Amino acid sequence: MSISKRFAELAHIRDALGAAHADPSRVVMEELLSATEAMIAGKRTILAGTNNYLGLTFEKGILDAACDALHEQGSGTTGSRMANGSFSSHVALEQEFADFYDVPAAMIFSTGYQANLGLLMGLVRSGDKVILDAHSHASIYDGCRISGADFFTFRHNDAEDLRKRLRRLGADAEGALVITEGLYSMLGDIAPLAELCAVAKEFGAYFMVDEAHSLGVYGEHGRGVTEAAGILDQVDFITGTFSKSLGSLGGYCVSRHEELNLLRYGSRPYIFTASSSPANIAAAHWALKAIRNRPELKEKLWANVERLYSGLEGLGCKLASPPSPVVAVRVESHDEAARIWNELLASGVYVNLVVPPASPDGASLLRCSMSAGHSFEQIDAIVAAFAEANASAAFVAARCGGQD
């Protein structure tokens, strides 16, 4: 092992970002002003890269719920549920998730990353077959790797390619696990879940969906793309996170198989880590109820999406997918993306800079995520900042015409 070689590789990545003055990991939010504004480098900045889809993080109700839990249950759990026991708030939140999805089993984890790791490490093992969408989140890949299962990818959102892969597995297709997401977080495209699920079921495979970015955002009751696709009763496992629409920290898995609960006895990411803190649990619980009781949040979010999308489209930007809470602008190179990202920041607009290898398909993206908390004035300011950056960069329709 050469530690110095590895450090040199990492320093190279850091320096490449630094050379373009575009290292998002060094952005510091000095003061949070609201769910959609912060002080960055002394400047009042609109946050358009947060995943705070419902904009709940500063609502009085969520803050009160978290503060009450802090005072009533303390600042931390200081141990895992397996070794140290559960707080009643963990159990109550699991029940709320089970009710919300109308399923018999729900488990919560300390993060969404661990929910995927926990499900996969608890469920599949060496000799099992897993087929996942090529654009799957790192936590899904990592869960597959660590589980020791044989895993293969199918072409992103391509049901025919999934069918081909399953066919190639022969008799092993029966009982294989197929994994996809609802809304993909980088390009902002949604999976054709009804088609993918039908193919999986045709071969007797299990079907798992990560709804991290789609909870509270899609479906009549906010249950995600799975609900919008009308297949909630067929999906075997749904995972997700508290760190986006729910404005907290933690993860969950729900299932129509009551046996999911047995994972508590064999899932290392569930067993060997401390359970979520009372404040996080209380905030997530409050926000899940808000999804159930306040459909107007979702409506406001979608009105904001339409406004940003049509504004950027009007500038001639090349948008990576049809309208969704993730509006990603494609640009032609890493350098161009870095330069525009800096200009946006200088104009008081923070978006996500996404460049290879973190991006799918080698794309360079300026990723905006919309929030129900944005005002139309803020959205117009975001569009104006893009316009300004475009003008000075000749980043115009000639190079960025239309949508894929």
| Min dist. Cβ of residue 137 to ligand PMP (A) | 4
Among residues 110, 136, 185, 324, the one annotated as catalytic is: 185
Per CB under 6 A, 133 contacts ligand PMP: no
Per CB under 6 A, 111 contacts ligand PMP: yes
Among 243, 267, 280, 371, binds ligand PMP (CB under 6 A): 243
Give me the residue label for tokens 């002003």: 33
Per-residue DSSP letter, 319: E
Per CB under 6 A, 248 contacts ligand PMP: no
Quote the CA–CA distance of 48 and 352 in Å, as a whole number: 8
Per CB under 6 A, 185 contacts ligand PMP: yes
Per CB under 6 A, 181 contacts ligand PMP: yes
For residue 360, say if its preceding peptide bond is cis, omega within 30 degrees of 0.
no
257 is catalytic: no
Residue 18 CB partners (closer than 8 Å, separation 6+): none
Site string for ligand PMP, 269-308 (x = CB under 6 A): ----------------------------------------
- Give, as ranges, the residues between 326 and 365 that touch ligand PMP (CB under 6 A): none
185 is catalytic: yes
Quote the CA–CA distance of 131 and 177 in Å, as a whole number: 6
Three-state DSSP state, 184: coil
Per CB under 6 A, 203 contacts ligand PMP: no
Do the Cβ atoms of 396 and 390 come closer than 8 Å?
A: yes
Per CB under 6 A, 251 contacts ligand PMP: yes
Does an H or E element contain 39, and which? strand 37-40
Among 113, 206, 309, 386, binds ligand PMP (CB under 6 A): 113
Rank residues 321 and 390 by Cβ distance to ligand PMP and give the closer one.
321
21 is catalytic: no
Rank residues 111 and 347 by Cβ distance to ligand PMP and give the closer one.
111
Q: Give me 76's structure tokens.
A: 């931390």
Among residues 135, 213, 285, 334, the one annotated as catalytic is: 213
Quote the CA–CA distance of 187 and 392 in Å, as a whole number: 25
Per CB under 6 A, 216 contacts ligand PMP: no
Rank residues 210 and 343 by Cβ distance to ligand PMP and give the closer one.
210
Stretch that binds ligand PMP, among 92-100, 206-214, 262-270, 364-372 (CB under 6 A): 206-214
Residue 67 CA, distance from chain mean position: 26
| Min dist. Cβ of residue 253 to ligand PMP (A) | 11
Among residues 90, 137, 244, 300, the one annotated as catalytic is: 244
Do the Cβ atoms of 65 and 289 come closer than 8 Å?
A: no
Among 137, 223, 307, 334, binds ligand PMP (CB under 6 A): 137
In the structure, how many helices (H) and strands (E) does the chain have?
14, 15
Cβ-closest position to ligand PMP: 112
Do the Cβ atoms of 110 and 275 come closer than 8 Å?
A: yes
Q: Following DSSP, what letter does each residue of 80-147 receive, concatenated?
A: -HHHH---HHHHHHHHHHHHHHT-SEEEEESSHHHHHHHHHHHH--TT-EEEEETT--HHHHHHHHHH
Q: Give me 223's structure tokens.
A: 């249950």
Length of the chain: 404
Per CB under 6 A, 139 contacts ligand PMP: yes
Catalytic annotation, residues? 185, 213, 244
Q: Where does this chain bind ligand PMP (CB under 6 A)?
A: 111-113, 116, 137, 139, 181, 185, 210, 212-213, 241, 243, 251
